[in-house]
Amino acid sequence: MRYISTRGGMAPQTFTQILLGGLCPDGGLAMPEHYPQVSPAELAAWRGLPYADLAYEVLRKFCDDIPAADLKALCAKTYTKAAFRTDAITPLKTLEPGLHLLGLSEGPTLAFKDMAMQLLGNLFEYVLARSGERINILGATSGDTGSSAEYAMRGKRGVNVFMLSPYGKMSPFQVAQMFSLQDKNIFNIAVRGVFDDCQDIVKAVSSDAEFKARQRIGAVNSINWARVAAQVVYYFRGYFAATRSNGERVAFSVPSGNFGNICAGHIARMMGLPIAKLVLATNENDVLVEFFRTGAYRGRPSSDVVQTSSPSMDISKASNFERFVYDLLGRDADMVKQLWSRVDMGGEFNLAGTPYFSSIADYGFVSGSSTHADRLATIRSVYENYGVMIDTHTADGLKVGLDHREPGMALICLETALPVKFAEAIREALGRNPDYPSGCENLESLPQRFELMDADAEAVKAYIARHSGV
């Protein structure tokens, strides 16, 4: 399996060649040259597999330059009860017949990003040990991504993490998750500023090519191909858990921000998993809903991003969306390049009236958005009707999923975080505190370790140079 760029300007690469990279050299995103297909016989054989074995079967179709036995061992080491608190790894909770939540938040940071990031930590360590290289991961976070990356990379040989976060702007639980880590390879930098300041610093540091090369700066953001590939696995697992036979068709509802999660659903469907519908749910930041409704894709200036109670979906543009558009345009890389030359300049494109946009129904996508009031009402009704507490992001997905529910077809809503991460909204909805999963009760009282800095890229560079060990 080789990987090419959505913008056509990259010679084919192997899985491990693109593993540590971010954007392709031409600014595009890495994509497999073709989607591997899953035969009915394979689908039948996969139905009963434990999660780690299923992950191996799916991933080996995408990754053929790690020896099979090693890839199998990496999957077995990643998807354990010790890390994900349950043997199922992704437990299915049935609310009523035909309506399910797929639990993707049982990992160490209680959000779905662990599903891929935990594997990435082990893959990075394996590949770096093989080549004898080191990497310094630099990132900016407003919450879930940063903690997930830190818990995946903590203690890993060859890897340091420098994570910028806006000081005083994250939920107390998110802060405690990150800042209580005492591992020597994890560096939390709290920036006096907002999330955009953090992101600007990352951009400034990464655009200094000399510094980037010397300090071996890398990233683990949501466009990383291995993350998308690892997420494909739970669509298969969720399908098997919610159905009795491989003749059934299902709908998945996905709380969406950067389009990484639902992009994996699209790929699972392209591989042959019988998904009838992919329900894309956003909060008030609805660039993607606008596209699926009108054909116009218009990134917003970051000043127009609405701060919501489902903050991990507060985006101005959806960084993985280019992968889907590449498929929608019949993999015409020149056209993708042309469209994104406008998007990257802050402009827009519009596919309305083109045969591409008319073919969108063939891909199973439907969409809708949800508001703060919808989230609270959904959290309340799920708690009252089923005795189950859900978080705000999952509530967005469930709300929009139910709007598109079809009688006789199972609806599987992805649970992307646990309520304890967003306690304030739970108190507002239910008038009580969320439950603490075991092991997290004292997290907020542990000693915290972080460096407080001004929003100054040069100062951050100096800090990295002092601590990177390069």
Among 257, 265, 401, 419, binds ligand PLP (CB under 6 A): 257
Asked if 359 and 328 touch (Cβ cutoff 8 Å), the reply is yes
Q: Based on the shown chain and the rule CB under 6 A, indicate whether residue 109 belongs to the binding site for ligand PLP.
A: no
Going residue by residue from 214 to 243, which x/- string records binding to ligand PLP, judged by CB under 6 A?
Answer: --------x---------------------
271 CB-side CA count, 13 A: 22
Among 256, 309, 369, 370, binds ligand PLP (CB under 6 A): 256
CA-nearest of 160, 157, 161 to 131 is 157
- Report the distance separating Cα 198 and Cα 22, nearest Å: 18
The single residue of 113, 317, 399, 461 carrying the catalytic annotation is 113
Q: Active-site residue 113, yes or no? A: yes
Query: CB count, 10 Å around CB of 335?
Result: 17
Instruction: Pick out residues in 296-315 that bind ligand PLP (CB under 6 A).
Output: 312-313
Instruction: Pick out residues in 32-71 that bind ligand PLP (CB under 6 A).
Output: none
Phi and psi of 422, rounded to 5°?
-130, 60
Span interacting with ligand PLP, options 48-56, 166-174, 259-267, 330-338, rule CB under 6 A: 259-267
Instruction: Pick out residues in 340-399 that bind ligand PLP (CB under 6 A).
Output: 393
**Shortest Å distance, C-beta 394 to ligand PLP:** 8
- Report the distance separating Cα 467 and Cα 470, nearest Å: 8
Going residue by residue from 121 to 160, which x/- string records binding to ligand PLP, judged by CB under 6 A?
Answer: -----------------------x----------------
Span interacting with ligand PLP, options 5-13, 75-83, 95-103, 252-260, rule CB under 6 A: 252-260
Coil vs helix vs strand at 314: coil
Q: Based on the shown chain and the rule CB under 6 A, indicate whether residue 258 belongs to the binding site for ligand PLP.
A: yes
CA-nearest of 84, 52, 394, 15 to 227 is 15
Among 146, 260, 265, 401, binds ligand PLP (CB under 6 A): 260
- Report the distance separating Cα 335 and Cα 353, nearest Å: 16
| CB neighbour list of residue 279: distance below 8 Å, 6 or more residues apart | 251, 252, 253, 254, 366, 367, 368, 397, 400, 401, 404, 411
Q: Based on the shown chain and the rule CB under 6 A, indicate whether residue 289 belongs to the binding site for ligand PLP.
A: no
For 217, the enclosing helix (H) or strand (E) is strand 217-218
Give the interface with ligand PLP as residue ranges (CB under 6 A): 111, 113, 144, 222, 255-261, 312-313, 393, 416-417
Q: Give the residue numbers annotated as catalytic, written as ranges.
A: 113
